[in-house]
Structure 1
Amino acid sequence: MNWYEKLNKYFPIEEMKSQEHMETLLKEKPEMYHKDESQNHVMMYVETKDFIFIDYLWVSSQTRGKGTGHKLIEKMKKKNKPIILEVEPINYEDSDTQKRLKFYKREGFQHATSIGYKRKSLATNEVTEMEILYWSPTNESEESILEKMKKTYKEIHTYKDEEIYGKSYEPADKVLTIDDEKTDNILEFN
């Protein structure tokens, strides 16, 4: 099974980029979009001068719980930049969603509680809500995380979308929002 098949088998269709999209990013944005893979893992990620965005992280079921995911996250943390990722909200009928959130919490990630992320899937035409998690070596604000997510959305998620999918994703400002009231509450508790 190749790297794309591994990801496609594991992630829901509404979260997946097409193979053409990912291969185009790898070819046309090699300074930014990367693939780290072995027989037991696939990690697709974005790296800019000031942050990392983990697009997909898959670890084979045979090696889960043996430190592979931890080693990959540690490798990213050593770059000393904020790390951002998207996760599905907990679905109590799908234990993998709970395990993923537990894993990222153990790795020191926190929820960006003031950031809303709702994107219409070009594959299913359904709106998918995701949660943003992040880890930061400094005290990164959620406003800063939002700006980094918008950059990722514009430069990666929607890259050549019309050419590849025949239609465009919604604009970043419609998909990614911030709840100022929640931001104010976060500041009060810090």
Structure 2
Amino acid sequence: MHWYEKLNQYFPIEEMKSKEHMETLLKEKSDIYHKDEGPNHVLMYVELDSFVFIDYLFVSKDARGEGLGRKLLDKMKRKEKPIILEVEPVNYEDTDTEKRLRFYKREGFEHAQRIGYRRRSLATKQINEMEILYWAPNNEPEEVIFEAMKKTYDMIHTYKDQHFYGNSYQPVDEVLTYNEKDNERENILEDL
């Protein structure tokens, strides 16, 4: 099965980039946008000097529980840069969301409680809320993660969006918010 089909079957439509978008990123942004693919996994990621952003991480059901996800994350951790990713909030009707969060918590990821992420899906026209998780090898603060997310949104998520989707995503300042006050949102990893 083609790598895009694996991702497309696993991730919800509102989170998926088009195949053309992803192939263009791999071609035109090949210095920063990468694909790591094997028989049982697909890892799409962005690597810049100061951070790594995991765009998609898929491990086939057949290989779950064998440590493949951990090995892929360990490979990213060896780069000694903050690792950032977006996850769906827990959906108790979809047991995969809770399993996914437990996995990232075991791997040392933290929830960026000060960062809000709300984007209108060009596919469904619905507002899609995501949570930001990060691994910070040098205890980088959430402000650093926020700036990295803004850069990722502008460089990757909205890259040629008008061309690929016939419409543009909202500007980054409408999608990503940062709360500097101490009234942080609930930690989604706390009770796992």
Q: Does the pair score TM above 0.5?
A: yes
Contact 2:113–2:184 (CA under 8 A) maintained in structure 1 = no
What amino acid is aligned across from residue 86 of structure 2 in structure 1?
A: E
Q: For residues 184 and 168 of structure 1, what CA distance do their matches in structure 2 show?
A: 30
Q: Please report the RMSD computed on the Cα atoms of aligned residues, expressed in angstroms.
A: 1.2
Between 175-184 and 34-43, report the one with greater CA deviation: 175-184
Contact 1:113–1:182 (CA under 8 A) maintained in structure 2 = no
SS at match of 2:61: coil
The Cα offsets for residues 68-118 of structure 1, whole Å up to 9 and x where unpaired, read as 000000000000000000000000010000000000000000000000000
| Structure 1 stretches lacking a partner, 5+ long | 186-190
Number of residue equivalences? 185
What amino acid is aligned across from residue 140 of structure 1 in structure 2?
A: E
What amino acid is aligned across from residue 59 of structure 2 in structure 1?
A: V
Alignment of 1:8-157 (within 5 A): 8-157=8-157
The Cα offsets for residues 19-54 of structure 1, whole Å up to 9 and x where unpaired, read as 000000000000010000001000000000110000
Q: Which residue of 1 aligns with 2:163?
A: 163
* Structure ranking higher in helix proportion: 1
What amino acid is aligned across from residue 19 of structure 2 in structure 1?
A: Q
CA positional deviation for 1:182: 3.3
SS at match of 1:37: strand
Q: Which residue of 2 aligns with 1:174?
A: 174
Q: For residues 52 and 95 of structure 1, what CA distance do their matches in structure 2 show?
A: 27
| Structure 2 stretches lacking a partner, 5+ long | 186-192
Identical aligned residues as a percent: 68
SS at match of 1:180: coil
SS at match of 2:173: helix
What amino acid is aligned across from residue 77 of structure 2 in structure 1?
A: K
TM-score, normalised to structure 1, is 0.95
